[in-house]
Amino acid sequence: MSSAEIDQSTFLEIDGVWKAFGDFFALKDIGLEVHEGEFVCFLGPSGCGKTTLLRAIAGLDLQTRGSIKQAGKDISNLPAAERDFGIVFQSYALFPNLTIEKNIAFGLENTGVAKAAINSRVAELLELVGLPDQGKKYPAQLSGGQQQRIALARAIATEPGLLLLDEPLSALDAKVRVSLRHEIKELQRKLGVTTVMVTHDQEEGLSMADRIVVMNHGVIEQIGTPIEVYRDPSSLFVADFIGEMNKIRARGTDKKDRVKIGKKEVTCLPHEFAKDETVIAAIRPEDIIPHGKGARSPGARDTIANPENCLEVVISDMEFLGSYWNAILKGSELDGGELHANFSMNAVRRMDLEVGKKIEVELSANRLKVFATAQEPDG
């Protein structure tokens, strides 16, 4: 669902939520609004508070203070059984002694729905998740991906207003994970159900979410669309956690759109750092542009947008990653550091790039962002 298609009315409102475990605060003053029909992903490393926040929304582990409203109703202190949500866990949590049909029907049977209506709904859901002939089987007879589809069918059986997904794909192998994340997103679009997913997998967040909530140490670092958090990270933590990021020691200059890398002054995105202040200049591998003979396709001009941003480097290593090469670059201007650059297969072939070769690369000025050294992530 595109942002234009999402109902901008607030469906889930989280205001000033804290969660303490003894003297430790897992959540610190969390504020967030989720729109009707939106797919929001809580993304962050282990221990950042994302699962704690999901459990607070579900009423499985009540917040220490703060409020949570769903569809305008204050649910802050309601038990989980009285909240309007369906949930899918990493472990599937299917009943091993019940058939697939019985697993899906479990929640419906507790609502007093007529048996004929339950059977019809179960058949509809099995069709919806692409497993119409599996109803008589038991969970152990299905693959991991199939079991997770059944867990999803069970979660939406009662047509909840909110769907919660707690690391739903992390137990699956890579190929199944990619396939199922597409299926879940398509299903969410079709149903229009407001969805909150927890994951530590940045690829899942970027590919599935309408908006991403990046968390770290119990606080929200940034909220934005996948493109916003990837292309315009608000902190060095976000820049480093979402995708790969080169971090270069630099110094401020008397111009707010320039920094010094070694002895070289380069153009960057505007910043507020003082002259000679030590900073981190950050740029993604795909924003490092190779120049020289063969750098562009035949007939195309090798145009350098910012000549002052060009560095002479040596390729110290190359790693083939299928659709591109990751090259490790070193040079005297990097003051002992190194850069990782992603070069297309065509550029590598045309330029005859190999370990030990000297080349010139340009740091894209409109992609070179500057952060304070105090923001630098540990390790």
Task: State the fold for domain 10-240.
Answer: Rossmann fold (3.40.50)
Mean pLDDT of the chain: 93
The amino acid that residue 379 corresponds to is G
Lowest mean pLDDT among 55-59, 186-190, 335-339, 348-352: 335-339
- Mean of the pLDDT values across residues 269-286? 96
Express each pLDDT in 39-83 by its tens digit: 999 999 999 999 999 999 999 999 999 999 999 999 999 999 999
Lowest mean pLDDT among 93-97, 110-114, 328-332: 110-114
Express each pLDDT in 296-347 by its tens digit: 777 777 788 899 999 999 999 999 999 899 999 999 888 778 999 999 999 9
Express each pLDDT in 361-373 by its tens digit: 999 999 999 999 8
From residue 153, alpha-carbon distances to 129, 160, 172, 232 in Å are: 7, 12, 17, 36
Domains of the chain, residue spans: 10-240, 244-375
- pLDDT of 333 reads 83
Confidence of residue 112 (pLDDT cuts 50, 70, 90): confident
- pLDDT of 375 reads 62
The CA distance from 351 to 213, in Å, is: 40
Burial of 313 (0-12, 13-18, 19+ CB in 10 A): buried
From residue 309, alpha-carbon distances to 258, 259, 312, 323, 328 in Å are: 10, 10, 10, 26, 18
pLDDT of 38 higher than 80? yes
Express each pLDDT in 229-264 by its tens digit: 999 999 999 999 999 999 999 999 999 999 999 889
With left for phi above 0 and alpha for psi between -120 and 50, is residue 34 left, alpha or beta?
Answer: beta
- pLDDT of 188 reads 96
- Mean of the pLDDT values across residues 120-138? 95
Write the DSSP symbol of residue 232: S
pLDDT of 150 higher than 50? yes
The amino acid that residue 342 corresponds to is N
The CA distance from 51 to 44, in Å, is: 10
- pLDDT of 378 reads 53
- pLDDT of 4 reads 46
Which of 240, 181, 179, 170 is CA-nearest to residue 209?
Answer: 181
CATH class for domain 244-375? mainly beta
